[in-house]
Copies of this chain bind each other. A is one copy, B any other.
Amino acid sequence: MLAEIITIGDEILIGQIVDTNSAWMAKELNAIGIKVKQITSVSDDADHIIEALEQAQKRARIILITGGLGPTKDDITKLTLAKYFNMGMRRDEGVLEDVEAIFKRNNRPMIDLNIRQADVPDGCIVLRNKNGTAPGMWFEQGPNIIVSMPGVPFEMMYLMGEEVLPKLTRSFALPFIYHKTILTANLGESFLAQEIADIEDSLPPSIKLAYLPKLGQVRLRLSTSGPDEQKLKDDVEVYVRQIVDKLKPYIVAEEDIALEEAILNIMKEKRLTLSTAESCTGGYIAHLITKHPGCSAVFAGGAVTYSYELKESVLGVQADTLNTYGAVSEQTVREMAEGAIKHFDTDYSVAVSGIAGPDGGTEDKPVGTVWIAVANREKVVSKVFNFGSKRIQNIERSASSALSMVLNLLKEDVN
């Protein structure tokens, strides 16, 4: 069964926002056995919305639309769909109750624009939205299903979870789609491919292998689909075992998790604790770690020390070290890592100090210079990198390299 996603909004097409809805929706659709054929982003323009909808219906039976359901004039999806499906409008009492409840809860008066959120095309099935004023709308046209949802991520997620996914599951006899991901680090995709060329050549046509490189890591993904879930898993597992065997030194995890999750899993099992001491990454490493539920069993906390003073007072870096070698130096970053172990009383720590850019470089230390140290209670390992002058890239690559170094030290110790 194929679906398409259409996201509506000028803000997407001028690059003012990144469309994160589609990836989330695609993952959820895959989980119930529906493949996404295409994702299309169009502007708040009636003709263009209709063109996209018509073309999508030629390729797929399920069309999920997000965006353009707000109360203001630039939002035209609802009226465009009513026109496209040749429907009149009616006021839905249930939706009106939901809208009233939201305004009551927030202690705000309701105005006409809000009341009109309860008007819906008279031939659609209303999907009530407890998280916002715009309801979801479910249309059927011949064998096809078209669903319109708000573009606000947590409203869309609520409607998908509570209404759309359960209704789709009931509407079709769906197969299983199975993706198995192997996370590797420290070897480029072409070398990985060369290592497992024989295994790749022996894959049956029903199993597809993809390579996803990102920041020093490569994800290998095996994908297949069919009616028997267990058989799919068993079939794929045969090749997973061969691949893992062949790539042993580079395997981080046999699941689609982030590097920091792999670290958390190992440390949790070994009852080890971790802290962070960040300068140029500014809390990003701590954020990556604390995004994950259950991280508190491993992660005690950390410091973001931008100023010299905090490097001294919070992490115990010597004033001498800072004055002699500067904040971006091997000496400082090692003292930061040691300070984190000592002051935060953890088994491991990771410290980063660099010049994230775009300015602030010197001849000796050009923008992009980043020192990283990882430590445990016995030793400190430090390394210098240059990640270029683009600030966000620099922060992301620093964090990724820092996490790789933690994983490597951890593997050395626990193996």
Contacts and interface: CB of A to CB of B under 8 A. Distances in A.
Interface of A: 10-20, 22-30, 35-44, 48, 52, 55, 70-75, 108, 111, 113-114, 152-154, 157, 179, 181, 188-191, 193-194, 200, 208-214, 219, 221, 223, 256, 276, 278, 280-287, 289-291, 293, 295-296, 299-307, 309-310, 313-314, 343-345, 356-359, 388, 390-393, 395
Contacts of A289: 282
Given A27-B15, A189-B70, A393-B154, A299 B306 contact: yes
Copies in the complex: 2
Contacts of A304: 276, 283, 286, 290, 301-304
Contacts of A358: 293
A74 B26 contact: no
A134 to B, nearest CB: 11
Contacts of A296: 306-307
Contacts of A15: 22-30, 36
12 contacts: A11-B212, A11-B221, A14-B35, A15-B26, A16-B179, A37-B43, A38-B52, A154-B393, A281-B290, A282-B287, A286-B286, A300-B309
Contact of A154 (B18, B73, B302, B390): B390
Nearest to A30: B14
B293 A391 contact: yes
Given A193-B73, A194-B111, A38 B38 contact: no
The 4 A-B residue pairs whose C-beta atoms are closest, nearest first, are A282-B290, A283-B286, A15-B27, A283-B283
A376 B133 CA distance: 37
Contacts of A25: 15
Nearest to A110: B190
A395 to B, nearest CB: 7
Given A40-B40, A71-B189, A299-B306, A10 B194 contact: no
A23 B17 contact: yes
A51 B394 CA distance: 37
A315 B367 CA distance: 32
Interface core residue of A44, A73, A281 (most chain B CB under 10 Å) = A73
A259 to B, nearest CB: 15
A42 B16 CA distance: 22
B300 A306 contact: yes
B37 A210 contact: no
Q: Is the contact region of chain A dominated by helix, strand, or loop, or is it mixed? A: mixed
B37 A38 contact: no
A48 B38 contact: yes
Nearest to A21: B18
B283 A343 contact: no
Contacts of A23: 12, 15-19
B14 A70 contact: no
Given A287-B287, A293-B391, A189 B72 contact: yes
B282 A73 contact: no
Contacts of A345: 309
A357 B293 contact: yes
B290 A286 contact: no
A209 to B, nearest CB: 7
Contacts of A55: 55
A301 B290 contact: no
A158 B191 CA distance: 24
